Amino acid sequence: MRTRRLLVAALCGAFFATATAAQGCPTGTFWKRDTLPDVPTGLTGVSVIQGMCEGESAGIVFEMPANMPPQRITQVVAPWGAGLGVNGFQALLDVEVYDGVSFSGAFANMGTLVFSLTQAGAAEMNVQSHGLNTLDTSTFNIIVGNAPATGTPPVRRFAICFRTNLNLHPSGSCASGWPANFFTDNAQQPGLFCNNTITPQRTSLIEIQGQGWRDAALATVTGIPLCPIYYSGIWCIRCCSEDAYPAFYTTFGNGCPNSLGVSHLIPATLPRLGQNLFVIVDNLPFNLGLMITGASNSFSTLGPLPIDMTPVGMPGCNLRVSLDFMTTLVGGGSSASYLLAIPNSAQLLGAQLFQQPFVFDPPLNAFGGSLGDAATMQIGS
């Protein structure tokens, strides 16, 4: 890293407008630690850190609330700027996501690398000045929040990082500095000492060639502190996330009618760790049936699913779940309730099961019943 710092007052209206739809996140959680507005408008001062070389990385550490479940990263935001807010200077970045970060003084101890855009075989992220460049990562299934908490008090952390694979500015170099580079939120002139409010510790990361990952507030080059002369502020790196394993109970296959019609599975609660799942089964002519619960909706001991049950006396009916567990349903008023107590075990988080009721109806056909709608459940927190 070459340690020359450039302050710029950037024209933000045009370039931030391209990111407006992404800022704040349509759903889920919006993560940022910089002090810029969620959607900057007008003139917004930032600081371009010209000394970041190709092969080096900038990152932000995010801290998760204690009760937050694991998250899936759905979007990342990379700041790329140029002096005077000049547009059009491009770079190719790798996106890296780490689950778990701890600190030992100036050293940042990175946890598990759960995602690299380059290693995933995808194209590199193309960014350009001057603005907040967004990348949809919802298809990559990037999960954070599984790493154990560290420190006192214990905190779960994850990091969103960008590595410069290629800086395409026509006049820059690592030796002389790159006029287009990552930027922070600070536009104030540096003082004599690093200001922990402007450049808080354990927030921004720098991976320096020959040194590895460092806390940007405490990093040094040849013994010279980078903050406040050569680096100050917080990287304007942001991301969006959603619960990695949301609880749901949804129909995926239609049943066949009995004498009252098709039986439906109606969830009164959702499957969550440490709670009870309640499901109402309607249209029970004799107030009697079986809840079939399976680990698969594609294969069973009887063969691939679904299975046409016409040969066994249930014409027009399809078995859609594997026959792993069966629970008797006894109800009244043509419906019955089903209860499943879900243990409070983190190992069950994200587990999926499949259900379908067999409805007792002897006059209906040779088998004496029908199969209702089939549903998928996912255990959430």
Which CATH number does the domain housing residue 332 bear? 2.20.130.20
- 371 pLDDT band, cuts 50/70/90, is very high
Are 191 and 290 found together in one domain?
Answer: no
**Domain edge (last residue) among 243, 273, 304:** 243
Q: Which of 30-44, 160-174, 217-231 has the lowest mean pLDDT?
A: 30-44
Within a 10 A sphere around the Cβ of 339, how many other Cβ atoms? 12
Q: What three-state secondary structure class fits 83?
A: helix
Are 81 and 52 found together in one domain?
Answer: yes
Average pLDDT over residues 172-187: 93
- CA diameter of the chain: 90
Are 289 and 192 found together in one domain?
Answer: no
**Domain edge (last residue) among 220, 243, 266:** 243
In a domain, residue 1? The reply is no
In a domain, residue 296? The reply is yes
Are 118 and 256 found together in one domain?
Answer: no
Q: Which of 14-18, 86-90, 193-197 has the lowest mean pLDDT?
A: 14-18
Residue 108: give the domain boundaries. Answer: 6-243
Average pLDDT over residues 157-169: 97
CA dihedral for 79, 50, 197, 15, sign (positive or negative): negative
Are 223 and 304 found together in one domain?
Answer: no
Is the per-residue pLDDT at 110 higher than 80? yes
Taking each continuous run of H as one helix and of E as one strand, the counts in the chain are 1, 31
Degrees (nearest 5) of the Cα angle 296, 302, 307? 75
Average pLDDT over residues 357-381: 97
- 41 pLDDT band, cuts 50/70/90, is confident
In a domain, residue 349? The reply is yes
In a domain, residue 351? The reply is yes
Closest listed residue to residue 351, CA positions, set 238, 211, 257, 244: 244
Residue with tokens 């994850």: 158
- 191 pLDDT band, cuts 50/70/90, is confident
Is the per-residue pLDDT at 190 higher than 80? no
In a domain, residue 311? The reply is yes
- 23 pLDDT band, cuts 50/70/90, is low
In a domain, residue 79? The reply is yes
Are 176 and 31 found together in one domain?
Answer: yes
Closest listed residue to residue 185, CA positions, set 89, 58, 97: 58
Are 234 and 253 found together in one domain?
Answer: no
In a domain, residue 70? The reply is yes
Within a 10 A sphere around the Cβ of 307, how many other Cβ atoms? 15
pLDDT digits (tens, 9 = 90+) for 143-156: 999 999 988 888 99
Are 166 and 195 found together in one domain?
Answer: yes
Are 13 and 142 found together in one domain?
Answer: yes
pTM: 0.83
Are 329 and 209 found together in one domain?
Answer: no
Higher-scoring residue by pLDDT: 61, 175: 61
What percent of the chain clears pLDDT 90, i.e. is strictly above it? Answer: 84
As for how many domains the chain has, the answer is: 2
- 207 pLDDT band, cuts 50/70/90, is very high
Average pLDDT over residues 353-381: 97
Are 313 and 170 found together in one domain?
Answer: no
Is the per-residue pLDDT at 13 higher than 70? no
pLDDT value of position 1: 52
In a domain, residue 41? The reply is yes
Candidate ranges 21-25, 202-206, 346-350; pick with highest mean pLDDT: 202-206
pLDDT digits (tens, 9 = 90+) for 285-317: 999 999 999 999 999 999 999 999 999 999 999
**Domain edge (last residue) among 217, 243, 269:** 243
Are 326 and 221 found together in one domain?
Answer: no
